[in-house]
Amino acid sequence: MLIEFSVTNFRSFRERQTLSMVAAPRLRKRENVFKPESAGEKFSDLLKVAVIYGPNASGKSNLLKALDVVRRIAQREPSTRNIPLPISPFRFDAALADQPSVFELNFIHAGMRYQFTLSATSERIVGEKLLVYPKGHESLLYERLHSAKGESYEFGALLQDSLSAELLDAWQKLTPPKLLFIAQAMANSSEALTPLKVPFEWLSKSSFSLLNGMDDMADLAQEIAAEDEFGAKAIAAFLRDVDVPISKMTVETLELPHVGSNALSKLFEKENKSINAAPTASKRTVLTHKTALGDADLSYEDESEGTKNLIGFWLPWVTKDPSYGAERLLIVDELDSSLHPKIVAALVEKHINSSVPSQLIFTTHDTHLMDAKLLRRDQFWITERDMNGATQLRSIHDFEGRESEDIEKRYYEGRYRGLPFVKRSA
């Protein structure tokens, strides 16, 4: 579970900015928080949801991209060693152009608390550091640093005793500039490095990011429905739960005409594909709508953008449940895209009321949630740009106010800042 995340010198972020999932004390709506299990220490409650508001181009999406950087780098294959890292420093300050971006993740996984810090440019990893907190006491697992003198490593007591000088030297040579040491260690399955397995699992697999719309997820959901009747039924049930009257989802197989030398074969030739490899069938998704006049079938293409987005959202929604594997942090850019505010509120409420704690972080322009009485003050965050063009991130709870105040009204009054300034025509 994510405790807090900090980012420095990345895209619109200049100085260090922190998103915290630590629940503020003494606020009501206790169903919005959960008690994490952390070995040997009593840790603060964590929030199930954080929602980020702000004007266009204020840095909301950049925050979610920053949250996803470590996962993307942790999942890189050795074959990508020559591909630039997904790093872009703050561009409005020339002094930072050659400086590394810094990302810090504090999290709890498998009952243990960790802190992972990554500093990197697009050309190389400059540093990575992993701390563990058994019984609440800080202990170094390893630290990697790059300087003008080369690469250096420091190993904590948990690893040092089981690693020979020869092995240490080998690891330094085996880890390329653009790959994480912890990823290389897991890829080579060194027995001496097993204490790194648990934190690496969280860093590489425990978040699911939807940053570029739902189209790819909708395609994947349809593939699942085509292969598994249970998947089709689950998608239809999910849609009904948010008041889309779908009684059934089916995927039909359509035979394609003989390819021969027609336009279809020319298309495949143009794409450097063999004519023999051209498909002989295609699939069509059909959704059956239940109405007072009877059932009516609509193809996926004829559905509204909102329904298509919900179909795409189904897969990450169900897989955030730990029963599907590691506990999930679901990150969504513009959750309200093509969705009615009440559907967004219903999804957030379902997440809050889930019997298994997981976390949801998303951006939105829809202020209906501020007035829906679902979330606490400490779950609302605001982004805005300062005079240098840098993103500032603040929690509404940082502003003076009562728990019972009308958050939406005060937001539009500018009490929390983070509103667009629109110049009126003369």
Cβ neighbors of 157 (< 8 A, separation 6 or more) are 139
**How many whole angstroms separate alpha carbon 211 and alpha carbon 229?**
28
- Greatest mean pLDDT range, 19-33, 151-165, 336-350: 19-33
Is the pLDDT at 270 greater than 60? The verdict is no
pLDDT in tens, 306-342: 899 899 888 888 877 655 555 679 999 998 887 888 8
- Report the pLDDT averaged over residues 392-405: 88
| Long-range contacts of residues 184-192, Cβ cutoff 8 Å, at least 24 apart | 187/78, 191/162, 192/159, 192/162, 192/163, 192/167
Is the pLDDT at 171 greater than 70? The verdict is yes
pLDDT in tens, 222-232: 988 888 888 89
Q: Which has the closest alpha carbon to 241: 143, 315, 310?
A: 310
Question: What is the SS3 assignment for 328?
Answer: coil
**How many whole angstroms separate alpha carbon 134 and alpha carbon 26?**
27
Is the pLDDT at 374 greater than 50? The verdict is yes
What ranges make up the beta strands (E) of 15-100?
Answer: 17-20, 33-34, 46-47, 49-53
CB atoms within 10 A of CB 128: 24
Q: Quickly state the pLDDT bin for 124 (edges 50, 70, 90).
A: very high
Could you tell me the pTM of the whole model?
0.89
DSSP 235-270: HHHHHHHTT--EEEEEEEEEEPPP-TTSHHHHHHHH
Is the pLDDT at 271 greater than 60? The verdict is no
Q: Quickly state the pLDDT bin for 286 (edges 50, 70, 90).
A: very high
The pLDDT of residue 227 is: 87
**How many whole angstroms separate alpha carbon 12 and alpha carbon 269?**
44
HSE at residue 65, side-chain half, CA atoms within 13 A, is: 16
- Report the pLDDT averaged over residues 414-424: 72
pLDDT in tens, 178-222: 999 999 888 876 666 778 999 999 999 888 888 877 778 888 889
Cβ neighbors of 215 (< 8 A, separation 6 or more) are 308, 312
**How many whole angstroms separate alpha carbon 196 and alpha carbon 213?**
33
208 secondary structure, DSSP code: E
How wide is the angle at C-alpha 249 spanned by C-alphas 292 and 206, nearest 5°? 125
The pLDDT of residue 41 is: 87
**How many whole angstroms separate alpha carbon 308 and alpha carbon 260?**
34
Is the pLDDT at 74 greater than 50? The verdict is yes
Within the chain, what is the greatest distance between any pair of CA atoms? Answer: 77
The pLDDT of residue 267 is: 42
Tell me which of 9-18, 130-139, 350-359 is least confident.
350-359
The pLDDT of residue 180 is: 95
Is the pLDDT at 168 greater than 80? The verdict is no
CA 79 to chain centre: 24
How wide is the angle at C-alpha 75 spanned by C-alphas 22 and 221, nearest 5°? 85
Return mean pLDDT, the chain: 86
- Report the pLDDT averaged over residues 398-422: 81
Q: Quickly state the pLDDT bin for 159 (edges 50, 70, 90).
A: confident
Percent of the chain with pLDDT over 70: 88
The pLDDT of residue 121 is: 97
Q: Quickly state the pLDDT bin for 252 (edges 50, 70, 90).
A: confident
Helix ranges restricted to H, 292-340: 305-319
Cβ neighbors of 338 (< 8 A, separation 6 or more) are 304, 305, 306, 308, 309
The pLDDT of residue 184 is: 87
The pLDDT of residue 336 is: 85
**Is the pLDDT higher at 172 or at 101?**
101
